[in-house]
Amino acid sequence: GRIQVSKRAPSWQELETKYVTWNKVLLKETLENSLLSGQKSKPFIRLSLQEDTASLSQWRPVDCQPNETVAIILPYRDRDLHLRTFLYHMHAFLRHQEVTYTIFVIEQLNRTHFNRGSLLNIGFRESRRVSEFDCFIFHDVDLLSEDDRLLYRCRDQPIHLSAAISASNYKLQYEDYFGGVTALNRTQFEKVRGFSNFFFGWGGEDDDFYNRVQEKGYRVFRYPLDISRYTMLQHGREQLNQPNAIRKELLKHMKGQSKLDGYPECDYKVVDAGYRHKGLVYWISVEIPEKEVTSKFLRLLPLSDAARNHVKNQRAVIATGLPGIVKEFLKLFLRS
């Protein structure tokens, strides 16, 4: 049923105390005081021994053996408050549903424009560091599920979990909307070749992903809107995640072209990887070479001159490290 959603961001120490047991071998852990109204968290164990450090972030219910393992993939940069709120909510939510799961934080490090699609591709590829997962939940860090009837499991078709978001008055934004939280099994994700890596900044990659799913003959499944409800945490728009001004043009030229670009072509460098906060998350910090990726799509796609100039301007922002508003001021100053 309906869940009481807390927007509080507890400290990391509080999160570790609530959800983690520092046993060195497989031991039962009884968790009390679940977020779920009137319910106690299920007993959980780590799916590892002391020597298997990668698996310290994988959790499995004690009293049952789920049919699939689930990877929660979070694209991330500079959202510490949201992440702590998310973990406080989601560890209880997932344990209540008796899911074997790991939460992956995929952090974009370098000063380049945020690339959600690439980060989700990286999460899929690098999840093998922990396990061969069956089901992948691609999840924005600012969305919290409001109903435990919304199952965090995969089906025979891709699932759009976050159909009704508080910021949209719990209405589906548009029929083809496929953003926020989606679920695909390994076969489905590999068949559609994952997300495009060409969308820097906010928007476009989710619509392109919907096109890929449709082109491969899948039909998106959604739960009823009274179940697929999510609370969206409030936040501002960071300078390097402004709306992508050329997303519509990219969408037009990428339609039917998933073979050009997908998770196998994802270009990145892993800077750091390992479990953090006593296994609450498996954290992967990466760098994405924006100049190289944009050079690739400028070469492959017949973009307009305006779109190509936009890409050059975006590169200039990265090269100088100046926020856009300062750049505009300098342009006006130099003209005067």
Reported as a single tens digit per residue, the pLDDT across 115-131 is 999 999 999 999 999 99
Confidence band of 110 (pLDDT split at 50, 70, 90)? confident
Fold of 12-303: Spore Coat Polysaccharide Biosynthesis Protein SpsA; Chain A (3.90.550)
156 is catalytic: no
Q: Sorting pLDDT into bands at 50, 70 and 90, what band is 290?
A: very high
Span(s) in the chain for CATH 3.90.550.10: 12-303
| Predicted pLDDT at 55 | 62
Which pLDDT does position 22 carry in this prediction?
41
pLDDT at 30 over 80: no
Active site includes 237? yes
Note whether 31 and 19 are within 8 A (CB): yes
Average pLDDT of the residues in 87-108: 96
235 is catalytic: yes
Answer yes or no: is pLDDT of 271 > 70.
Answer: yes
- Does residue 39 register a pLDDT over 50? no
Establish whether 238 is a catalytic residue.
Answer: no
- Rounded CA-CA distance 281/71 in Å is 11
**Residue among 96, 220, 213 at smallest CA distance from 151:** 96
Q: What is the pLDDT of residue 235?
A: 76
**What percent of the chain lies above the pLDDT cut of 70?**
84
pLDDT tens by residue, 314-336:
998 887 765 544 444 444 444 44
What average pLDDT is seen over the chain?
88
> Does the annotation mark 232 as catalytic?
yes
From the list 12, 134, 232, 267, the catalytic residue is: 232
Alpha helices by DSSP H, the chain: 12-19, 80-96, 116-126, 186-192, 205-215, 247-254, 290-300, 305-320, 324-335
Q: Say what the pLDDT of residue 272 is.
A: 98
